[in-house]
Amino acid sequence: MGQLEYKPNVRTCGINLDHWYVVARDVEVTHNPVSVTLWHHEIVLFRDGQGKINALEDRCPHRQVKLSAGKVVNDNIECAYHGWQFNQEGSCSFVPYLEEKQKLPSCKIKRYPVQELDGFIWLFPGDGDSNAVSPMGLPEWEHLNYIGSVAEVDCPGHYSYLIENLMDMHHGHLHDNYQAWASATLNTIDVSDTRVDVLYDAQSYYRIDKIWSISQLFFPSLRKLHPEPLRVSYVYPHWSSSLGPDFRIYCLFCPVNETTTKAYLVHFTSLESFWRLHKLPVWFRRFIKDSLFNAAKGLLQGLIVQDVEMIIQEQKAFNENPLQRNYELNRAIAKVQQLIISQAIN
């Protein structure tokens, strides 16, 4: 008999490490080391004297304790236990009690490619070429015509549940007044080795073309629906969506392990329609953008609470009976699962 081919379970499979993941917001990493976990990799983030971000394995090879419990000294990270220091390459650079004839230990910990981009810390956990893949990025982050909001997602479930939730626009009735669209109907699906793009036809009230129209975001009685294309994309390993010209939203993933997912939900509202605003000085437009930052955070948090509650139940059901079959009608979800498995195998 031939050997059976192993097929990973989408609810337990890992991630493709040779991609850029988001592990923190840039404002979360200041002068103190920060500990993050990306798919079982415990990592310490810290800044040197010039503010440059660095990422090392969060482990002192001396006694295997966390370096993130220490501090930054002369651009090195110092272990809290015995004061051993490690440079930005992960090599031991100083031991406070080194004897005259002793050499520095040759131990070295892993250094991770890391960069700051569009308000976030992007990290490449794999051993492949980090220059061969680019971070997805958020082109609206610095654009003066977009107002941004950010909410963190702490999801006690496998990351596949979260990305399926984001790609499936048929669960709108769960969100009551938090969702900007209704009556989503699947139109087309496009698939490649690294992404799944889905177009839904939807009804939207999200049109920001007059000052008063912003109020409809907070007062449902003022909303008027109109047809609008709803595009959602799994650009592995992250997600993006647009609803007409005024609404953009992203989810930046940091899978922690098989049952824990951290992510950041980022929303942008366009001010493109306010042509008079574009003629004002740049400093004033920047002031408006910064002053309105996180204006939609409450909206995002409302969505997150409701979605995470569903994912908790999904994960619980899987834990209790991994062989239980789901009955799925959305054709896009099968494509998403295939992409997750193929990337995990790679």
Q: Along the chain (346 residues), what's the average pLDDT of each consecutive run of 10 residues?
A: 65 97 96 96 96 97 97 96 96 93 93 97 96 94 93 97 94 72 87 96 68 57 74 97 88 98 94 77 90 89 93 96 91 96 92
- Close Cβ partners of 278 (under 8 Å, ≥ 6 residues apart): 145, 285
Q: What does the buried/exposed string (b/e) look like for 244-283 if buried means 16 or more CB atoms within 10 Å of the residue's CB? A: bebbbbbbbbbbbebbbbbbbbbbbbbbeebeeeeeeeee
Sole residue written with tokens 């997912």: 261
pLDDT for 132: 94
* Residue 302, amino acid: G
pLDDT for 296: 86
Write down the pTM of the prediction: 0.92
Find the farthest-apart pair of alpha carbons in the chain and give their distance in angstroms, rounded. 79
* Residue 280, amino acid: L
CA–CA gap between residue 247 and residue 230 (Å, rounded): 10
Helix, strand, or coil (residue 318): helix
Instruction: Provide the β-strand partners of residue 264.
Output: 152, 252
pLDDT for 215: 58
Structure tokens at 198: 């889905």
